[in-house]
């Protein structure tokens, strides 16, 4: 795909952050509620997803949502197949906003076992990846969760993530590997040490031409993941906000110089459906500026 080298260069060294606009079915009601749209405001799943799409469209079309500060955006599969102002969302992001489009490909999480939650099976993944590539998507994202410092569980999470990542690489896309560490875990720091070791081992085993990105919880020890950012197979490391407030997430991010943000809830904090366009643009602009500065 002709745009791939330009997108890669932007993801490798562009100044800014990746917006996570990929809330799925399970997290949509909460995201809408924070935006001022309550369950009583919609009467079907279709209406709920339409309200979510309207919110995402408003964000993407906002004045501050351009590659000046937002270098990438992660989409939900449903969003990839929608349009905004009559244009496919991935094309609009890249052609009109200069923002590199990614796709969330996971189907949610398995129940917790060995202090982790693995990815649910992803039937039809090869077809989805082919469809994504045809629509101009650059890369993917798949999220697992680590709840405690259980070496066996963490090894299973990382092994599964890299199996999926290889499938994504083979399809000509760049995977964002996301083994989130729960910020409320009492053994968070130890879990992060175990995760670092597991990620390092799997990165060292990758073929030379396989390029991945990592999306990691902001670590208790600042700079913990710097060594991974310097790995030849890693294009970029991005940080998830994980439930921290925007201020806390940005403060922690600023201590990790080799990570940039990929925030979801922190990006939309303070936005409300009833805001005028001017109020909405100003509020979103404030969030974008704060996250951008912390990502520099």
Query: Which H or E element spans position 20?
Result: strand 17-21
DSSP structure string for 270-290: T--TTS-HHHHHHHHHHHHHH
DSSP structure string for 189-248: HHHHHHHHHHHHHHHHTS-TT--EEEEEEPPSSTTTTHHHHTSTTEEEEEEE-TT--HHH
Task: Note if 178 is an active site residue.
Answer: yes
Spatial separation of the C-alpha atoms in residues 154 and 201, rounded to whole Å: 12
| Contact status, residue 285 vs residue 267, Cβ threshold 8 Å | no
Q: What are the CA-CA distances from residue 74 to residues 67, 104, 194 (Å)?
A: 14, 6, 27
Q: What are the CA-CA distances from residue 16 to residues 60, 94, 152, 296 (Å)?
A: 15, 15, 35, 7
Q: From the candidates 69, 141, 188, 215, which is the catalytic residue? A: 215
Q: From the candidates 178, 180, 192, 269, which is the catalytic residue? A: 178
| Contact status, residue 212 vs residue 166, Cβ threshold 8 Å | no
What sign for the dihedral angle of Cα 168, 296, 225, 179? negative
Spatial separation of the C-alpha atoms in residues 184 and 187, rounded to whole Å: 9
Task: Note if 215 is an active site residue.
Answer: yes
Query: Which H or E element spans position 50?
Result: helix 45-60
Q: Which residues are catalytic?
A: 178, 215
């Amino acid at each position: 795909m002709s745009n791939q080298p330009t997108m890669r260069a932007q993801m490798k060294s562009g100044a800014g952050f990746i917006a996570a606009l990929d809330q799925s079915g399970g997290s949509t009601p909460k995201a809408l509620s924070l935006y001022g749209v309550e369950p009583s405001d919609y009467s079907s799943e279709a209406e709920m997803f339409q309200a979510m799409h309207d919110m995402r469209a408003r964000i993407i079309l906002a004045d501050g949502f351009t590659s000046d500060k937002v270098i990438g955006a992660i989409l939900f599969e449903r969003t990839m197949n929608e349009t905004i102002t009559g244009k496919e969302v991935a094309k609009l992001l890249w052609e009109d906003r200069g923002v590199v489009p990614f796709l969330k490909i996971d189907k949610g999480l398995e129940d917790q076992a060995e202090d982790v939650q693995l990815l649910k099976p992803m039937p039809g993944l090869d077809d989805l990846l082919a469809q994504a590539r045809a629509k101009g998507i650059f890369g993917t994202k798949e999220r697992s969760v680590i709840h405690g410092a259980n070496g066996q569980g963490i090894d299973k999470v990382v092994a599964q993530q890299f199996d999926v990542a290889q499938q994504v690489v083979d399809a000509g896309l760049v995977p964002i590997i996301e083994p989130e560490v729960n910020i409320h875990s009492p053994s968070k720091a130890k879990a992060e040490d175990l995760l670092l070791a597991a990620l390092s081992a799997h990165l060292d085993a990758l073929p030379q031409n396989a390029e991945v990105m990592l999306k990691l919880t902001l670590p208790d020890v600042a700079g913990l993941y710097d060594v991974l950012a310097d790995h030849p197979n890693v294009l970029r490391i991005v940080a998830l906000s994980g439930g921290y407030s925007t201020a806390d997430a940005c403060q922690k991010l600023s201590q990790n110089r080799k990570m940039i943000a990929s925030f979801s809830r922190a990006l939309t904090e303070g936005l409300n459906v009833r805001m005028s366009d001017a109020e909405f643009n100003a509020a979103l602009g404030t969030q974008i500026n704060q996250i951008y500065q912390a990502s520099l």
